[in-house]
A and B are shown apart, each in its own frame.
Chain A
Amino acid sequence: MVGARPLPRGRSLRRTVAQVVGSRWSLLGLLALIALFIVVMASLQGVSGTRMLGLVVRGVLLGGVLALGALGVTLVFGVLKMANFAHGDYMTLGAYLGLVVMTLLPRGAPILGLGFGYEFVVALLVVMPLVGLIAYGLDRLTFRRLRQRRSAPVMMAMAALGLAFGVRSIVYMVFGADFAFYYQGRARPVVELFAGVRVRTDQLFILGAAVLLIVLVYLLLERSKTGKAMRAMADNPDLARISGIPTERVVFWTWMVGGALAGAGGMLYGLDVQLRPEMGWWLLLPLFAAVILGTIGNVYGALLGAFTMGIVWQVSSAFVNPAYGPAAAFVVMILALLVRPQGLMGGGR
């Protein structure tokens, strides 16, 4: 154009830098750097390759459990635009309800090479819809009224925290503060995967179950009418109403799916580790770290985030106190937010 002056060099340079720093590649680069850092720290501590590999594998397993929770969190956020701080405690609820169901059923012999019997699977199938229903019920009692009133996000968050502590207190009251286990003193068969990495067969089941559920959720969202309506509502709730989509029914299914996944995640986590009333709250931070890394509301992002955080959590135990695992996930989240606040899958600036 005639007479147009070029932008002062400083400004366009700064903008370019900002664009580069905020891009998806920078974020991936950051993650790669973190991975490198972990490897260097671990080797400085003299951690063997086998152990590292084992930790990565454990990270993937944990990632599966985290994915179940993260999917629920991201679905609820997408459809209801709400950060559900009670989600960790829904996982706790699922784990303990599973315990109840399993104590009611007669103990069976361990299934085929695994460390648990049919009663665990039955409990899983019972607990999932149960937690879903409870989650929906709690929504109707609390969040729904706040939504209708167009309450500020802080009110929703306080309500969620109230539910979180309320659920946890009930678990404490009914079960006490001690650890609980699904199985005591039962053999837990181990299998060797590769390169000297050993995992329990139970853990393979856990990963398998998680993957199966993830696939089912994928099918729900991509192939079913309800799932598409969930995505539509997440995209544009007003247009969903205008199109005649029964939004309350979609909300119901969102809580059913989110709650069911949380319940399953809790039970699977309990099978691997142990049950304690705090278990869900401790997972809350890595859950949200995963969801935020993957861009809140984005299902694929939640999966990527969950596996990433699972690995970070486990692998960090190679060179710091394992208790800091969730904190490591948190630190990665903060770094990611500094580089790209909208997360991996978010839209461009």
Chain B
Amino acid sequence: MSLLTVEGVVSGYGEMQVLRGVDLRVEDGEIVSIVGPNGAGKSTVMKLVFGLLKPWEGRVTFAGEDISGMPPEQIVRRGLCYVPQVDNVFPTLTVEENLEMGAYILDEPLKARKERVYELFPRLAERRTQRAGKMSGGERQMVAMGRALMLDPKLLMLDEPSAGLAPLLVDLIFEKVAEINRTGVAVLMVEQNAKRSLELAHRGYVLATGRNQVEGPGAQLLGDPEVARLYLGG
């Protein structure tokens, strides 16, 4: 049984249809990458899985449970956490407070969890009382990911984690994604930087015009010149 399955999902915003039938799955402990041109619906799939958008058709299951259309507050309790692409931190809250908000639904002391996040992102440890809004792009991305990790999710969803970051930071972020994955967390990420993300991923999906185009192991997709030409800008 896959950890996450998305079956035949059709959806959109208001009357504008974006997804025209998307299927994908994520297995335990995998890194799956979704790539494709702009406007393909990659971010929309994420939002739909996380309950920010209702499917018009099709369904989403997580750990065997149908979560189609479930609101985010409940999805989060099931071990699925999401980092949006923009506006992904609370700017007037400190780093530490951002992390605390990530684990809001828990009633227990959060010290251990925070320490784990600080171990993963030492830069944050130094800046724990700084306001998140005053941090650089890379640091904010770390705060955003740290916030999502506070609940020890089984699956972490990342929407364009490397967007707008300098190359050195892109390396760092992908390194961290790999590190997170090594602790057993599955990762589903949408990425513009197809090359780097497919290098990292176990499997990849290419999405275009709201539906699946190609699917396969990351390395295979990377190496396929057709895929590269058609969808990844050469």
A35 interfacial by beta-carbon distance below 8 Å: no
Which residue of chain B has the shortest Cβ distance to A226 in the bound complex? Answer: B104
B-chain residues with CB within 8 Å of residue A247 when the two chains form the complex: 73
Choose from A235, A240, A244 the contact partner of B92 (Cβ within 8 Å).
Answer: A235
* B contact face: mostly helix, strand, loop, or mixed: loop
Chain B residues with Cβ below 8 Å from A148 are none
How many residues of A sit at the interface, in one of the four size bands?
10 to 19
Q: Which chain A residues have a beta carbon within 8 Å of chain B's beta carbons? A: 225, 228-229, 231-232, 234-236, 238-247
Determine how close the nearest CB of chain A comes to the CB of B150; give it in whole angstroms: 9
A239 pairs with B100, CB closer than 8 A: no
Contact A229 B72 (CB under 8 A): no
Min CB distance B221 to A, Å, is 29
Write the nearest CB–CB distance from B69 to chain A, whole angstroms: 14
In the assembled complex, the CB of A76 is this many whole angstroms from the nearest CB of chain B, namely 17
Q: Using a Cβ cutoff of 8 Å, how many contacts connect chains A and B? A: 65
CB of A220 to closest CB in B, whole Å: 14
Is B82 touching A229 in the complex (CB atoms < 8 A)?
A: no
A226 to chain B, nearest CB (A): 10
| Given A228-B93, A231-B93, A235-B92: A245 and B87 interface contact (C-beta under 8 Å) | no
- Docked Cα-Cα span, A238 to B144, in Å, equals 13
Are B89 and A239 touching (Cβ within 8 A)? yes
- Interface pair B100/A225, CB less than 8 Å apart: yes
Asked whether A239 lies within 8 Å of B105 as measured between CB atoms, the reply is no
- Tell me, yes or no, whether B88 is within 8 Å of chain A by CB: yes
B91 within 8 A of A: yes
State whether A235 touches B72 (Cβ < 8 A): no
Bound together, the chains give a CA A167 to CA B18 distance in angstroms of 47
Q: How far is the CA of A229 from the CA of B101 in the complex (A)?
A: 7
Interface string of B83-114 (1 = CB under 8 A from A): 01001111111000100111011000000000
Q: Which residue of the partner chain A has the closest CB to B87? A: A236
Q: How far is the CA of A158 from the CA of B38 in the complex (A)?
A: 42
Contacts of B87 in A (CB 8 A): 236, 238-239
CA distance A246 to B104 in the complex (A): 9
CB pair B104 A236 closer than 8 Å: no
With a cutoff of 8 Å between Cβ atoms, the chain B residues found around residue A244 in the complex are 72-73, 76-77, 104-105, 151
Name the residue in A225, A244, A247 with the highest tally of chain B Cβ atoms < 10 Å from its Cβ.
A244
* Segment 196-214 of B: residues with Cβ below 8 Å from A: none
- With both beta carbons as reference points, the residue of chain A lying nearest to B71 in the complex is identified as A241
CB B139 to nearest CB in A, in angstroms, measures 17
Give A234 to B76 CA distance when docked, in angstroms: 21
CA distance A243 to B102 in the complex (A): 5
13 contacts between A and B (CB under 8 A): A225-B100, A228-B93, A229-B104, A231-B93, A232-B93, A234-B92, A235-B92, A235-B93, A238-B52, A242-B84, A244-B73, A244-B76, A245-B105
The distance in angstroms between the C-alpha atoms of A50 and B92, with both chains bound, is 42
In the complex, A34 Cα to B151 Cα: how many Å? 52
State how many angstroms separate the Cβ of B153 from the closest Cβ of chain A. Answer: 11
Smallest beta-carbon distance B102→chain A, Å: 5
Question: Residue B91 contacts which of A228, A235, A242, A245 (CB distance < 8 angstroms)?
Answer: A235
Chain A residue nearest to B151 in the complex (CB): A244
Docked Cα-Cα span, A74 to B14, in Å, equals: 32
Other-chain residue from B72, B92, B100 in contact with A242 (beta carbon distance below 8 A): B72
Q: Which residues of B contact A234 (CB under 8 A)?
A: 92
In the complex, residue of chain B having the shortest beta-carbon distance to the beta carbon of A240: B101
Chain B residue numbers with a CB within 8 Å of A240 are: 90, 101
In the complex, whether B118 has a CB less than 8 A from a CB of chain A is: no
Residue among A228, A238, A247 with the highest chain B CB neighbour number at 10 A: A228
Given the complex, which residues of A lie within 8 Å of B92, measured CB to CB? 231, 234-235
Measured between beta carbons, the chain B residues less than 8 angstroms from A228 are 93, 97, 100-101
User: A240-B101, A247-B73 provided; 19 other pairs, C-beta below 8 A?
Assistant: A225-B100, A228-B97, A228-B100, A229-B101, A231-B92, A231-B93, A231-B97, A232-B101, A236-B89, A238-B87, A239-B89, A239-B90, A241-B72, A241-B73, A242-B50, A243-B76, A243-B147, A244-B105, A245-B73
- Docked complex Cα distance between A241 and B104 (Å): 11
B169-208 with Cβ < 8 A to chain A: none
Residues of B within 8 A of A229 (CB): 101, 104
- For the complex formed, measure the closest distance between the CB of A174 and the CB atoms of chain B, giving whole angstroms: 41
CA distance A244 to B90 in the complex (A): 14
B160 to chain A, nearest CB (A): 15
Q: How close is A26's CB to chain B, nearest CB, in angstroms? A: 23
Inter-chain CA distance A242–B102, complex, in Å, is 9
Shortest beta-carbon distance from B23 to chain A in Å: 24
Contact between chains at B88 and A239 (CB < 8 Å): yes
B151 to chain A, nearest CB (A): 7
